[in-house]
Chains A and B, each alone.
Chain A
Amino acid sequence: MRRSFFLCALATIGPVALAAQATPTPKRDSAARADSVSRADSIALVRELEQMQSAGAPDTTGSRGTSQQSASNPRLLPDISVVGDFIADASPRGSTQEDGTRLGVRELEVAFQAAVDPYFRGDVFLGISDEEGIAIEQAYLTATALPAQLEARLGRFLMPFGKQNTTHRHDLHAIEYPYVIQSFFGPEGLKGTGIYLSRVFAPFGFYQEVIATAVDRFGERDESLVTREPANRKLGGLGYSARLRNYFDLSQAANVEVSFSGITGKREQPMLELPSDDPDGEPLNGYNQRQSVVAVDVTYRWRPLQQGLYKSFILQGELMQQRNPDVTIPELLGPTGDRVGGYAFARYQIGRRSFLGARYDFVDAESSADGNTTAASGYYEFFPSEFSKLVAGYERYMAGGGAKGINRLILQAAFSLGPHKPHPF
């Protein structure tokens, strides 16, 4: 009832107050309800809460006991949150989105997170999109009771490879993953299903973490390729990765992380069609080939503690090398030799809620016949609150090989519903 009153007051008085700004008059000065107290604002909220409290609801005797504790999560429900990620593609020559939409819901992510028991925590992230329907983005069990400060996960997770790949796409400072990640791993980054083991240590006085994984396969399966045997038939065909993080505080305000990653595994690659060994089987058009990627990433962050709400700066770069065998058989169409790609990214905070960012991308083509991809982009990010963001990005994309450059203009709106999530670091 009281809240309804405040909402009505807001609706009624809001326009009046706006008009008051434009043409302030002494008459309005005397109007008691045109001040901040009359709105549904901080002071009104405080007054409302005071009245609720004086009505005797909470215990103020010093020990809240179970009454308030039980109010937060009375049925042991998991934390449920939803992230919406909307894209508008205003590129002058048509949509540059994979699904060709100008306005689209890129993804809804629904997350369920809770402690399973005293020994495990469970995290499930479902991705919902028009293209893929419902997909398991991540679903893993984390062992929280291991000795020697080890952490183990079992399930599907974002692969701990490089810096940006470990960040959910909607949490990126740019709109899309860098092209090197898209080209080497796919537009949604690299995920894996398997075992993850990490340990934090500091033998030299600074933070170090080593993370190793063994996953069912390196990258997503290309359903259009039929191979003689699955890439993961032998243990050597699984995906194996390792990452070493090194983090240094340069001062209270500045820090740097220099990390190294590597992954190897067998992946299906295309080839000219061959008849199947099985007379009833589909013709073979793929073969398994080992591929490895090594990477180094560097992130410098600056955020003065006292002005941290208003000022910050990030400079980040990743360099990756994809290693493929030098195959000279003309029927095999997979990548050969080494490819290199990377990006440099900078982001500067220009106000409490506003940021400017820029990124330069480059990726070697799969074959020397194709030109290398380069792209330069700029972003403006605006955060109405911690739980929503609006991004406008412009990109000049050069596919190489004599292709004409493409100008892309993309807008993003993302929001988060549910419990307050930790801010990604």
Chain B
Amino acid sequence: MKSTTRNKVRLIFPALAAGLLFASPATAQLKVVTSTTDLADIATQVGGNKVTVRHIGEGYQDPHFIEAKPSFVLQLRNADIWAFVGLELEAGWMPLLLNGARNRKINPGGAGYVDVSKVIPLLDVPSGQVDRSQGDVHALGNPHYWLDPQNGRRIARLFQRKFSEMDPANAATYATNTTAFEAKLSSAERAWQPQLALIRGKPVVAWHTSWRYLANYTKVNIVGFMEPKPGVPPSPAHLAGLIQTVRRTGAKVIIMEPFYSRKTADFVASKTGIKVLVLPPSVGGVRGLNDYVALMKSDIEKLAAAVQ
């Protein structure tokens, strides 16, 4: 009896060990954590069911000022990939989370540390001396690049390469998904051409420099910013000048994010008749706007309607 039991044990343990050894890689999904919802959605589109994707910031939240909550550390400590916007957008919270996560894979130098900005042609890159008298200027360039659909493609291709590198078994799936994402984006771009024609050259005011990439894509003409300097709240003196700018240029719209108080924009509107357009800068910025292509479509349509 004893020897039978021993034999069973002898058989069961190797079988279990072999099962664990060979079963785990087949069912494992890449665990991806992104800093923003936009990156999360594109990662999901590219990764499909081969990846699990979570994000730190919400679409209706200012990505500069996310709190480094310890619960985010739990998300990051087992992540295979940490993809972030870069250009110091996350400088106020990312170091605390990465240090707390103690996950070498996603720290600088690790295979899963993905600074997405590395594949983006940037706007507003200072080539001379930069200091904080210029406000919260990003010394490496403007980080709000996902608001240009061309950059959406670049992000998808980066994710395809990274996922394939870390999970070569599913490289074909990632390639197929990326092609599908790009086709969906191209189809949407063709559909919104009439709106782009309406927007082109129209003067607008933006709250923050975050709308520079959207303006670059749509050719809308940003003639002034609500912020006197990046990240600095509007002062009365600046608003006085801005009101004159609006009157002089005939700007039709103030574009602003949902996380800024619109009181000041409403004040400028009351003095000039300009419209205030609250546009979500990210996926999830308003309820129901849950994917990247829908975000771009919604922003372009709303902008086209507002500048008329």
A347 to B241, CA, bound (A): 35
B238 within 8 A of A: yes
One of B89-97, B168-176, B291-299 at the interface: B89-97
Q: Name the CB-closest residue of B to A72.
A: B140
Q: Do A37 and B232 contact each other (CB < 8 Å), given the known contacts A249-B69, A306-B60?
A: no
Q: Do A61 and B121 contact each other (CB < 8 Å), given the known contacts A24-B240, A206-B71, A209-B70?
A: yes
Q: Could you tell me if B125 and A305 are in contact, using CB atoms closer than 8 angstroms?
A: no
A172 within 8 A of B: no
Q: Could you tell me if A42 and B225 are in contact, using CB atoms closer than 8 angstroms?
A: yes
Q: Do A28 and B244 contact each other (CB < 8 Å), given the known contacts A305-B61, A422-B95?
A: yes
B interface secondary structure, majority: loop
Residues of B contacting A35 in the complex (Cβ-Cβ under 8 angstroms): 224, 241-242, 244-245, 248
Q: Could you tell me if B134 and A29 are in contact, using CB atoms closer than 8 angstroms?
A: no
Q: Which A residues from 30 to 67 make CB contacts under 8 A with B?
A: 32, 34-43, 45-46, 49-50, 52-53, 55, 57-64
B74 within 8 A of A: yes
One of A98-106, A144-152, A155-163, A279-287 at the interface: A144-152
Residues of B contacting A93 in the complex (Cβ-Cβ under 8 angstroms): none
A353 to B242, CA, bound (A): 22
Q: Do A385 and B132 contact each other (CB < 8 Å), given the known contacts A45-B229, A49-B124?
A: yes
B174 to chain A, nearest CB (A): 19
B278 to chain A, nearest CB (A): 11
Q: Could you tell me if B123 and A53 are in contact, using CB atoms closer than 8 angstroms?
A: yes
Q: Name the CB-closest residue of B to A7.
A: B133
A310 within 8 A of B: yes
Q: Pick from A40, A60, A61, A308: contact of B62, CB below 8 A.
A: A308
Residues of B contacting A385 in the complex (Cβ-Cβ under 8 angstroms): 132, 135-136, 231-232
One of A13-21, A133-141, A371-379 at the interface: A13-21
Q: Do A149 and B77 contact each other (CB < 8 Å), given the known contacts A62-B154, A72-B140?
A: yes
Return the CB mask of B247-286 against A: 1 if under 8 Å, else 0. 1100000000011110000000000000000000000000
Q: Which B residues from 143 to 160 make CB contacts under 8 A with A?
A: 154
Q: Could you tell me if B244 and A423 are in contact, using CB atoms closer than 8 angstroms?
A: no
Q: Pick from A20, A68, A146, A249: contact of B71, CB below 8 A.
A: A249
Residues of A contacting B141 in the complex (Cβ-Cβ under 8 angstroms): 58, 68
Q: Do A14 and B237 contact each other (CB < 8 Å), given the known contacts A52-B127, A57-B127, A308-B62?
A: yes
Query: Could you say which interface size class chain B belongs to?
Result: 35 or more
B201 within 8 A of A: no
Q: Do A46 and B127 contact each other (CB < 8 Å), given the known contacts A62-B119, A63-B119, A200-B73?
A: no
A1 to B84, CA, bound (A): 36
Q: Do A34 and B125 contact each other (CB < 8 Å), given the known contacts A309-B65, A425-B68?
A: no
A78 to B119, CA, bound (A): 26
Q: Do A149 and B102 contact each other (CB < 8 Å), given the known contacts A45-B229, A46-B209, A46-B212?
A: yes
Q: Could you tell me if A3 and B128 are in contact, using CB atoms closer than 8 angstroms?
A: yes
A-B contacts, CB under 8 A, total: 213
Q: Could you tell me if B229 and A308 are in contact, using CB atoms closer than 8 angstroms?
A: no
Q: Could you tell me if A29 and B77 are in contact, using CB atoms closer than 8 angstroms?
A: no
One of B5-13, B14-22, B103-111, B300-308 at the interface: B103-111
A207 to B121, CA, bound (A): 39
Q: Do A145 and B100 contact each other (CB < 8 Å), given the known contacts A43-B222, A385-B132?
A: no
Q: Pick from B68, B102, B227: contact of A423, CB below 8 A.
A: B68
Q: Could you tell me if B238 and A423 are in contact, using CB atoms closer than 8 angstroms?
A: no
A196 to chain B, nearest CB (A): 13
Residues of A contacting B118 in the complex (Cβ-Cβ under 8 angstroms): 63-64, 69
Residues of B contacting A68 in the complex (Cβ-Cβ under 8 angstroms): 122, 125, 140-141
A163 to chain B, nearest CB (A): 13
Residues of B contacting A397 in the complex (Cβ-Cβ under 8 angstroms): none
A69 to chain B, nearest CB (A): 8
Q: Could you tell me if A34 and B241 are in contact, using CB atoms closer than 8 angstroms?
A: yes
B58 within 8 A of A: yes
Return the CB mask of A227-245 against B: 1 if under 8 Å, else 0. 0000000000000000001
Q: Which B residues from 208 to 222 make CB contacts under 8 A with A?
A: 208-209, 212, 222
A368 within 8 A of B: no
Q: Do A21 and B70 contact each other (CB < 8 Å), given the known contacts A46-B124, A306-B258, A385-B132?
A: no
Residues of A contacting B194 in the complex (Cβ-Cβ under 8 angstroms): none
A386 within 8 A of B: yes
Q: Could you tell me if B132 and A43 are in contact, using CB atoms closer than 8 angstroms?
A: no
A224 within 8 A of B: no
Residues of A contacting B242 in the complex (Cβ-Cβ under 8 angstroms): 35-36
A419 to B139, CA, bound (A): 10
A55 to B128, CA, bound (A): 13
Residues of B contacting A390 in the complex (Cβ-Cβ under 8 angstroms): none
Q: Could you tell me if A37 and B127 are in contact, using CB atoms closer than 8 angstroms?
A: no
B88 within 8 A of A: yes
Q: Which A residues from 193 to 229 make CB contacts under 8 A with B?
A: 200, 202, 206-207, 209
B51 to chain A, nearest CB (A): 22
A351 to chain B, nearest CB (A): 9
Residues of A contacting B135 in the complex (Cβ-Cβ under 8 angstroms): 42, 45, 385
17 residue pairs from A and B, CB less than 8 Å apart: A36-B224, A36-B244, A36-B245, A42-B208, A42-B225, A49-B125, A50-B124, A60-B122, A64-B120, A144-B104, A145-B104, A146-B102, A257-B70, A305-B60, A385-B231, A422-B93, A423-B93
| 4 further interface pairs, Cβ-Cβ under 8 Å (given A52-B125, A200-B74, A200-B77) | A36-B244, A42-B229, A52-B128, A68-B140
Binding site for A on B (CB under 8 A): 58, 60-62, 65, 67-71, 73-74, 77, 88, 91-96, 99-104, 107-109, 117-129, 132, 134-137, 139-141, 154, 208-209, 212, 222-225, 227-233, 236-238, 240-242, 244-245, 247-248, 258-261
